[in-house]
Structures are given as structure tokens and as C-alpha cells.
Chain A
Amino acid sequence: MNVDVTALLLNIFLPFAAAALLFLVPKKLKLIPEILSFLVTLFCLASALRFFLLGVQVRFTMLLFSLGNFEFAFDVGTTSLNTFMLLFTAGFAFLISMYSFRYMADKEKRKKYYIFLLTALGGASGALVSNHLLVFLLFWEVVSVSLYFLITTGGKGSREGATKTMAMIGAADGCLLLGIGILWYISQLLYLDVITLSINSWLSALCFILLMIGAITKAGAMPFHSWIPKASEKAPASVMALLPASIDKLLGIYLLFILCTRIFVLPQGLLLTLMIIGVITIVAAVMMALVQHRLPHLLSYHAISQVGYMVLGIGTGLPLGIAGGLFHMLNHSIYKSCLFLCAGAVEHKTGTVELEKLGGLAKAMPVTFLSCLIAALSISGVPLFNGFVSKWLIYQGLISGGHGWLLIFLIAAMFGSALTLASFIKVIYSVFLGRTSDVSKKVKKDVPFTMQLPMLVLALLCLLFGIWYTLPLNAFINPATGAAPAVIGSWNSILAIILLGGGLVIGLFIYLAGRIIGKSRTGRTFIGGEELAAEEARVPGTDFYNSIRDIRPLSAVYNIQARGALDPYNWFGKLGLWCSGLLKKIHNGILPLYVFWTLLGMGVLILLFIL
């Protein structure tokens, strides 16, 4: 086997080997998990970078088992689509592993955390490069199971969130398995590079819908989204940054992308369904996020909302939209994991995630504040950051469709962007700006360097991909989709930043001229001439959007949602309880009834035997 194939197999299996090794290492050896995970993630990153830069196309096939027409082969290979995704998966794992050195240093489930971080990395790498659908499903499932265990490292109370996650993703994976089964039944093929189906019967439509459910539940679109906020309640922030924010999105949208562009040829009706799911997700999730009081919940709802953009982009079926959706997947992973890491840093220092109790942390934690500000501006779609570029491409995709009704989706998507901006203003104000709260007064300095570096790297990546956006487009997205889409608008970011720089110079000139002429001093804030106690004078950010929550039709919806009545998880729970309730009635403990059922059963069997 040559170097490339070895590197690919190591990329997949080395994390598993390291995880197995960590199982055996006793808990007393303090730094072994950190060192091992650092080395392994660094190796995977270097190897993925090598694959990406050299552009080699590797393929490894090993037939394990065949029965008639059915073949089960371990078939993995790199294509222009999965090399860059492999690179970013390894990159996220490396950065979050570095972040976890200090973040998880005093938590008791450290070893378990690192074990399952490595298995998640191995599973994700395997899923991205596998060419055989069952192998893909196997690795996909490994990621889901790792997520369950990673959430339970959050300590007491995390089991509830982990169970809900496993239930919903497990059900979605069941749909995936069923869908793959139907795919096999229709086409007798299970290799990703050769399947092409057109949807011409209800069976193939069902197959697509099942596979799509698997993909969007993993990514977290509505209506199967409620596992993400539940998991974020107790899971460590670095777990949320690793899986639901970045790797799950990469995997889910990867599957959706190959479903819509490689495996199936979709008719207009199914594309429209995808777009409707996308738009409803965007607006409903961000309306939910507006009224949240706890930072992880808020960030989870935004993660759900941004998936709507990706689904909308891919659902347009047009080159601009699909490129935009894919690019948004990448950008979202970067700024979302940065946001979760910042939330983790704030929690590490203050011990709380309640927005009411935080405030004024900008002076004490400048690096965290800067990274969070950049990531918040990116997610809101402010020009010169990466979120704007991918949203701009998706909007152009909608406009280039040439139909009036597509503009309805455009309006909803742009309005969702404004709502996102509103929500993040609240976050930045509540956590970093405003008056310093009692809890925040105890924070003296920022988090340690190994926690700062990942946040800074991700924030700088947001800036880089926003200003020099042709770089990621030409290096990552266009090779994946196959062609550079014809852009209908224009955005000269380099010229814009030059002009903005010029404007900044003029503004600074005015300010400094004033500073030279007049003087400057620091003064107490003016609140109508009164002296108010510190906590009294503080306006927490949680009340910002009460005006919106109280608008008549919306308040009814918010109340219904708060009771859990809009959650399919609860619906299926109630359905299951009803079914088992029926069966419970039969088991009422009266012997003659059981004898009756037994005789009835025997009678049916005898009848069948005679006939």
C-alpha cells in the first residue's frame, strides 16, 4: 500500500486506536489524555492538509462480504468534495482539543471526554470518505453514539439531554437505514459514485424523504431540532462547539448535498419542500432565540436557524444557491464553534450562563470579547465577514431562479438575518457591554492562552473568509460543486475595505483633532443626577425584546411552544404512551382472560396449519 492509502486509513483509524488506548490508561496519569489527543488531532490535521494541498485522489477498496447481488465492501476514497471537509473536521477537532486542555482540566469525566472526542473525529472522517452507503452509515452511527457519551460528560442532569439526543438522532438513523434499504431494493447499488436515481414513483420519493430526514435531523433543522437546545443545557460548551455546531452540520449537509446533487434527480415539488423547511427553520428558530435567557439555549436556536439557510440554498437546485448553501455550512461551523467556545470561556470564568447575571465583561476578558464580537457580526451577516458572503450567494441563488414566489423566500431569509442581528446585539450587550454585574466583578483576567488561541484562530478565519472570499470559494466550494457559478451581483470586498479604511482615517482624524484641541477625561455616567446602587442601575439584556414577545398573535405561539406542545419528540412520546397504554389494558392480571388469549392463539395457529 502506498503512502496516500496508508495516510487515509490512519486518518480514520488512528483516532479509534488512540481512544482504545485511553480506555486502558489509568485515570491517575494526569496528562496522558491531553497529550494523546493533541498528537492524534495534529496528525489528522496534517494528513488532511496534505491530501487537500496535493490534490491526490485516493481510493481503497476491500471486499468484506458478498451474498448474491449484495456486496459489503470497505470502500473509501477522497474526492474534491470531501478533502476540504476532512481538513475542516480535523481542524475543528484539533482546536477544540486544545481548548479543552484548560476547560476540562478540573472536570471528573476528562478521560471519557477525550476518548469520545477521538472516536467522534474518527467516525466523522470515516463517514466523509466512505463510498459504500452501509460503511457510511456505520461511521455516521459512531458519531451519534460519541455525541451521546460526550453530552453525558457534563455531569449531573446531562443524561436527560443525552437521551433525547440519542432518541431523535437514533430514530433519524433508523430512517437512514430504511432509506438505504429501499435504495438497494430499487437500484441494487450501494456505491455512492455510481448511484443516480430519478424520482418517478412513490417508493423513490419515500426513499429520498427518509434519507433527507436522517440528514436534516443530524444537522438540526426543524421540525427535528429540539435535541440541540436540550443537549446544550448541561453539556460542556466544547462538546457543543465540536459536534452540534460544526461536525454534525458538516456531516448532515454533506449528506443532503450528495442526496440532492449526486444520488437523486429531484423534481420541483421536493425541492420546494426543502425550501419551505429551510425558510420555516430560519424564521421560527430565530424568533425562539430572541426570548432566551440562557446563553447556550440561545446559541443552539441560532445554530438551528442557520441550518435553514443551508437547506434553503441547497433546495433551490440552482448552482448559485447550492454553492451558497455549501459555503454557509463551512462558515457557520467556523463562527458557531467560536461562539460556543466564547460561551464556554465566560462560563469557565464566571460560573454562570444566565444572561441576567452577566454584564460588563469586555474590560476583563478582551480577547474573548473580540472573538465573540467578530463571530456575532459574522453570524448576523455584516459585510466584510464570512456570513455575509454565503448569505449573499444564497440570496442571489433565489433571485436567479426567476420566479416571483422565490422572492417570498428571499424576504423571509433577509428578515431572519435582521432578527439574528437583533439577538446577537442582546448577547453582546448582556455579556460584555453594559454595566459590570456583581458576578462579573469577580473576573480579573481572561481565560488562559490555550483557550484563547482557538477562539482567535476561528475569529481570524471569519475575517479572512469575509474579506478575501474568493479564496475559499475557489479552493473549497467550486471544486466540490464542479463549476464556478455565474454571480449576478457584485461585491468588491477589497475595494470596500480600502474605502472603509479611508473613512476610518478621516473619522479618526476628526476625533484626534478634537482630542488635541480639547482635553479628555473619564467621568461618572449621568443618570439624571441621581446616585443609584450598582445593581439597581443595571439594565439586563433579557428584557430587550419583551415588546416583541408580548405582541398578541406571537405571545400565543410563544406560550404554546413553552409548554412543549410543538415538539415532535413529545408527540411521539405521547403516541408511544397511548399505544403501550392500550396494551397495558390487556394485561390486567385476571387468569381466565390470559387463558382465553392463549386458546385463541392456539386456534389461529391450528387453522393456519390445516390451511
Chain B
Amino acid sequence: MDMLITAAYILFFPGFATILVLGLVSSWIERKVTARVQYRKGPPLLQPFYDIIKLLGKETILPAQGSRFVFIIAPLLGFMSVSLVGVILMLQPLLAVSFVGDLIVVVYLLTLPSLALIMGGSASGNPLASQGASREMKLILAYELPFLISVALVVYKAGFKIDLQSLPAGGNMVSISGILTFIVVLLCVQAKLGFTPFDIAEAETEIMSGPYIEYSGPLLSVFKLTQSLMLFTLPVFMITVFWGGISFSGWNILWFALKYILILVLIIVIKNTNPRIRIDQALKFFWGFCSVLAVIAFVLAVIGRWYGIAWL
């Protein structure tokens, strides 16, 4: 009975079906706001669902060159891993014990969707896809450094604990170092999502969608689903780890929704007000400015802990 309830949680609410629907709704919000910013009307609410269903009816074209097995498995791998992370994060507040993994596991699992994109691009047998794949890998290297510094900061503030339940309860993220870290992680998440100014890997106008170029039909729909799930999962990860955690009791659901919408709005605003940058500029930006900011936040947190100043 217990297992059935947990299985229902995982599959329906607040598990897989919920994050799928909310992910597609978030991608609609993003498209609508972007359209409004550009003085267009924007798509109706169900457009993302229509897109997925339309793609399912299209032909699957497999590339003549390259590895067919990896080409098909790669989008499925990305989809699997992001759904797992989403389920872990959403089920965490409901269960008393740690579910599947701790912070380190989630950080490693979050690299898998990008890895799946790279593998899919590599298996396409297309030089433009290879370019996209190499840019995506360099982007991962770029944002991993400040991201890891921020994660280490959270572990430090939480008193050297890494299971997802004790992270929000422990440290105090409403402090100067917390805000600086939040900004750094927001920029890293922008890169993880592949949104401007960091959509270097799938630059539409330069390399014709990079790794996605050979994908069509149901495989492309799986990739698009993965993108929507990432758009939902990453802000939820940010809230769980860097902004007080999620809770489903009473008014906290509203508070959670507000935090989520704020992060989504920030992401969309950054997306619409910036041009795309080059990969070497991205490397210098993340390894330079962002990492320095993250290190400053860390130093402030250490000083705050040593001298007992809570707002540092």
C-alpha cells in the first residue's frame, strides 16, 4: 500500500505527470512573454502540447553517416535523467527519508541532459552538429566552475550536510553571500537551459541548431520535452538548494509558486535583452567574472560564520 502511494506520487502528483504539464506550461509562458516583448501576439496556451503531438506524426529521418543506436538513445537518455531529477526534487518535501540521492547525485544527474545532447549531436554524422556538440561541452566546462563553487557554499552554510532535506533548514541564504550566489547560479542556469545569451550550442542563425540539426519527428519531440522539463526542473532546483526549499503545506505552495514565477521572469528577461556571445567570451565570463563573484560570496560566508554575522 505504501509502495502504491509512493508510486502514485512518482507518476502523477507531484511527480512525473505534474512536472511534464507544468514544464510545457512554463515553456508557453516563456514564448508568450517573449512574443509580447517583441510586440507580437504570441501562441495560445496549448501550443506546446500541439507542437509535441505534431512532431509525433512526422517522419523520422535517421542519418546515413554516424551511429544510429546512439542517435536514437541520446534523446531518451536526456529525457530519462531530467525526469528523474524533477521527480527527486518534487518528492523530497513529501517523504521523510532521502529519496534516491543527495545533492552530489543531483548535481551529477543535471549534467546528463547536456551530455545527451552532445552524444546525439556527435552521432549525427554532420559537421555542424559536431561544432554544436563541441560548443556545448565547452559551455558545460565554463559554467561548471562557478556552479560548483556555489554548491560548495551551500554545503558550507548548511553545516556540511548534503542530503536535500537538511539544506534549506540549515543555512541562511537571505544574506549577502546568499544573494551573490543566487545571481551566479541564475547565470549558470541560463547557460544550462541554452537560452540567450548562452545559446551558443544551438545557435539558429550560425550553425542551424547545432546538435539538433539532424533530428526530426518523435526524437525531436523527446528533445523538446526534455527542454521543457529542464525549464521547470532547474528553477525548482534553485529554490530547493539556494532559496529556502519547497514545502507543500498550506500557504507554502503559493510562496513556492511565486518564487518559481520570479525566477522564470528573470530568465525570460535576461533571454530577451541580450545578444548571443561567442564561446571564448562565455569561457572568460564564467571562469572570470562569475567565478570571482562566487569566490567573494564564499569568503563572505566564511567570515560571516567565523564572526557570527548572520547577514553576511
Contacts and interface: CB of A to CB of B under 8 A. Distances in A.
A525 B83 contact: no
Interface in B224-243: 225
Contacts of A360: 65-66, 125
Contacts of A499: 10, 84, 87, 100
A489 B122 contact: no
Interface in A472-515: 488-492, 495-496, 499-500, 503-504, 506-508, 510-511, 513-515
A182 interface: no
Interface string A403-441: 010010011001100110110011011001111100000
A382 B133 contact: no
B67 A362 contact: yes
A400 interface: yes
A514 B127 contact: no
B156 A421 contact: no
A478 B65 CA distance: 48
B144 A418 contact: yes
A513 B56 contact: yes
A489 B104 contact: yes
A517 B67 contact: no
Interface stretch (B189-197, B215-223, B261-269): B215-223
Nearest to B150: A411
Output the residue of A363, A402, A523 with the most chain B CB within 10 A. Answer: A523
A28 interface: no
Contact of B221 (A432, A490, A514): A514
Interface string A192-221: 000000000000000000000000000000
Interface range on chain B (Cβ under 8 Å from partner): 35 or more
A510 B58 CA distance: 12
Contacts of B56: 510, 513-514, 517-518
Interface stretch (A252-260, A536-544, A563-571): A536-544
B130 A429 contact: yes
Contacts of A495: 99-100
Given A429-B122, A433-B122, A491 B101 contact: yes
A528 B100 contact: no
A520 B105 CA distance: 37
A31 interface: no
B224 to A, nearest CB: 11
Contacts of A511: 72, 76, 218-219, 222
A524 B124 CA distance: 10
Contacts of A362: 66-67, 69-70, 123
Interface string B131-169: 101100110110011001100100110001111000000
B133 A429 contact: yes
A500 B104 CA distance: 18
Q: Is the interface of B mostly helix, strand, loop or mixed?
A: helix
Interface in B78-114: 79-81, 83-84, 87, 97-105, 107-109, 111-112
Contact of B115 (A421, A508, A523, A527): A421
Contacts of B199: none
Interface range on chain A (Cβ under 8 Å from partner): 35 or more
A490 B65 contact: no
A591 interface: no
Output the residue of B10, B67, B97 with the most chain A CB within 10 A. Answer: B67
A523 B215 CA distance: 11
A521 B76 contact: no
Contact of B125 (A402, A435, A550): A435
A508 to B, nearest CB: 7
A588 interface: no
Interface string A12-25: 00000000000000
Given A425-B122, A488-B161, A547-B279, A507 B76 contact: yes
A521 B61 contact: yes
A66 interface: no
B218 to A, nearest CB: 3
A522 B67 CA distance: 12
B57 A500 contact: no
Contacts of B130: 429, 434, 539, 541
A415 B161 contact: no
A572 interface: no
B64 A524 contact: yes
Contacts of B98: 489-490, 492
Nearest to B280: A547
B72 A383 contact: no
A396 interface: yes
Contact of B152 (A392, A410, A503, A523): A410
Contacts of A436: 65
Output the residue of B65, B131, B133 with the most chain A CB within 10 A. Answer: B65
Contact of A363 (B67, B109, B138): B67
A471 interface: no
A136 interface: no
A304 B165 CA distance: 37
Contacts of A404: 156, 302, 305
A399 B109 CA distance: 20
A46 to B, nearest CB: 37
B63 interface: yes
A526 B124 CA distance: 10
A381 interface: yes
B213 A500 contact: no
A516 B96 CA distance: 43
Contact of A523 (B63, B81, B225): B63
Contacts of A400: 160
A490 B279 CA distance: 36
B283 interface: yes
B226 to A, nearest CB: 9
B102 A489 contact: yes
Contacts of B103: 489
B101 A507 contact: no
Interface in A96-155: none
B61 to A, nearest CB: 4
Contacts of A401: 160
Interface in B186-215: 208, 213-214
Given A525-B65, A547-B283, 15 more contacts: A362-B67, A362-B69, A382-B108, A399-B160, A434-B125, A495-B100, A510-B218, A511-B218, A514-B57, A521-B62, A525-B64, A526-B214, A545-B134, A547-B280, A548-B138
5 contacts: A496-B101, A499-B84, A514-B58, A520-B217, A528-B208
Interface of A: 360, 362-363, 369, 381-383, 388, 392, 395-396, 399-402, 404, 407, 410-411, 414-415, 418-419, 421-422, 425-426, 428-429, 432-436, 488-492, 495-496, 499-500, 503-504, 506-508, 510-511, 513-515, 517-528, 537-539, 541, 543-545, 547-548, 550-551
